[in-house]
Structure 1
Amino acid sequence: MKKWYKDIEIKLKGELQAKVNQQQKLTIDEQALYQRLNCAKHPTVEIAGHIFYVNYHLQKLEPSGDFMSSGIRFADLDDFHNDEMNRYEIPYDSNRRCIAEIDLDCFFEIPEGVFVVVIPYPSVMDRVGYARSFGTLYENILKEIPQKSHFKVEVLHGKDSYLEEFVKMNRKAEGLPPLVVKKKCKGLNR
């Protein structure tokens, strides 16, 4: 890391530490920034009750407490970018804590525990990690969007979920009756 860049990080840490020492109230955004810079605490994102750490250095969302799962790589999110809405809409497999592998052409029903979630851009979830990766000044990045410590994703269902639309189209094309949803998933408003 370049010296001038390190100097700016030290200055920013010092300003936040001075506020803490003077027992001034930090805003929620300042608390998140303080924890990210001084405590190396990664931001988290909650996906269907599962907590993931946003690790910009490793370029992935790492599941908390599940070392068997490889998590969700940022590069894999690009396949699910919704250009119209300017966001990622991924099919999430809550059983495996990863992106669900689905062949949309042969898709006649939604597997249990799979649903579409909206994930913010990694550069929005971890502003400090983003700035560090590209050697950009923190001040410039944080002015646009402040550092947050936690995100909760939106679950899409009904006409907003492209999975349900594919199921309807595929069943109709094969002459199968429409799928009847018997029960709602607890806590997912499906």
Structure 2
Amino acid sequence: MERELPLINIQGTAFVVDVENLILKEKANENNFIPFGYMADVSDGYEFEYGLDSRNIRNIWTDEESVRVTIPPLVELDPIRMSQKYNVPMDQLKGKTDFEIMVDQQAFDLRVNKGVLPTIDIAGDIFYVVLDKERLIPKDNPASEGIPLPSFAQYDQVLGENVFAYDPKKRDITDLDYLKITEVPKNLIAIRLPFSFTLDPVGWNLIFNRDVKFGLKTSNLKMQFNAPQIPWEKTDLPEIIKENIEQLKRKETERMKQSSTKPVINKQKRGRRL
């Protein structure tokens, strides 16, 4: 029998404590949930501005009445699930904070106290993630300029979400001419990169002058990443190539039609006049 999740009462409304998804879910309305990532960390748990009408974190653009709410840490709200999810024996939970349980303390020490930069493996090449320079710097050539971190804006995701073309020989991310490309590039591979915040949330916090611990409990702090290679056929490139080829065929067909309907001017040869 599946274990029932614990409940917490906030201003007369019952919420399910969902450690797996790190949310509070209204018992009477599962579509209404409050992510722990949107709450502020305080010494005795979590704090947020609770909207009495929305029964959620108060929207700053509304005029609904709200109250400041503080709830206990997850290790108190659901110690059993915290123990299971983060592989910490129940007898070792006592005295630990959510941060100590949910965040890799070795990775945190390396990044924050020892200043070690995270790395990412791209097709066998190891790069340091240097967010303040917005670059990926080769580990074997730290003096080089490296690769500019690509834009993760949605309109740039032509190949698919977070997918970019990589040149293993040049060790660089390459822009393809999507309006003209008619075949899969033989010297390039498709790779998927994590978002910049995912690669180095501590560095991101430092850049924006935030607490270094901000968002770490929900970001899965790591020091080593891998950029998986994506088969070209699983990207949007084949469809782009197909459309380009079809467009070229249409242009050629139109050109042939125009050529066949063009009037022919007969020029009679004129002889020499006597």
Band the TM-score falls in, shorter-chain normalisation: 0.5 to 0.7
Counterpart selection for 2:166 from 81, 92, 104: 92
Q: Does 1:102 align with 2:176?
A: yes
State the TM-score, normalized to the length of structure 2: 0.47
Moved over 3 A (4+): 66-70, 75-83, 171-175
- Checking the alignment, whether the CA contact within 8 Å between 2:190 and 2:232 is kept in structure 1 is no
Q: Does 1:144 align with 2:218?
A: yes
Instruction: Flag structure 1 segments of 5+ consecutive residues without an equivalent.
Output: 1-25, 176-190
- Distance in 1, matches of 2:187 and 2:228, equals 15
- Checking the alignment, whether the CA contact within 8 Å between 2:120 and 2:129 is kept in structure 1 is yes
The structure in which a higher percent of residues are helix is 1
- Distance in 1, matches of 2:144 and 2:245, equals 32
Structure 1 residues 40 and 149: CA distance shift in structure 2, 3 A: same
Match of 1:111 in 2: 185
- Distance in 2, matches of 1:28 and 1:67, equals 28
Instruction: Report Cα offsets for 1:123-162 as digits up to 9, x if no partner.
Output: 1110110111111112332122132011112222254212
Match of 1:3 in 2: none
Structure 1 residue 74: Cα displacement: 2.8
Q: Does 1:45 align with 2:45?
A: no
- Distance in 2, matches of 1:32 and 1:80, equals 33
The structure in which a higher percent of residues are strand is 2
- Distance in 2, matches of 1:53 and 1:126, equals 10
Structure 1 residues 121 and 166: CA distance shift in structure 2, 3 A: same
Counterpart selection for 2:129 from 49, 54, 62: 54
- Checking the alignment, whether the CA contact within 8 Å between 1:159 and 1:165 is kept in structure 2 is no
Structure 1 residue 105: Cα displacement: 1.7
Higher relative contact order (CA 8 A, sep 6+): 1
Structure 1 residue 99: Cα displacement: 1.4
- Distance in 1, matches of 2:235 and 2:132, equals 31
Structure 1 residue 88: Cα displacement: 1.7
- Checking the alignment, whether the CA contact within 8 Å between 2:102 and 2:217 is kept in structure 1 is no
Structure 1 residues 139 and 39: CA distance shift in structure 2, 3 A: closer
Match of 1:163 in 2: 237
Q: Which amino acid in the other structure matches residue 71 of structure 1?
A: G
State the TM-score, normalized to the length of structure 1: 0.65
Q: Secondary structure at the match of 2:116?
A: coil
Tell me whether 59-68 or 101-110 shows the greater mean CA deviation: 59-68
Q: Which structure has the greater CA radius of gyration? A: 2
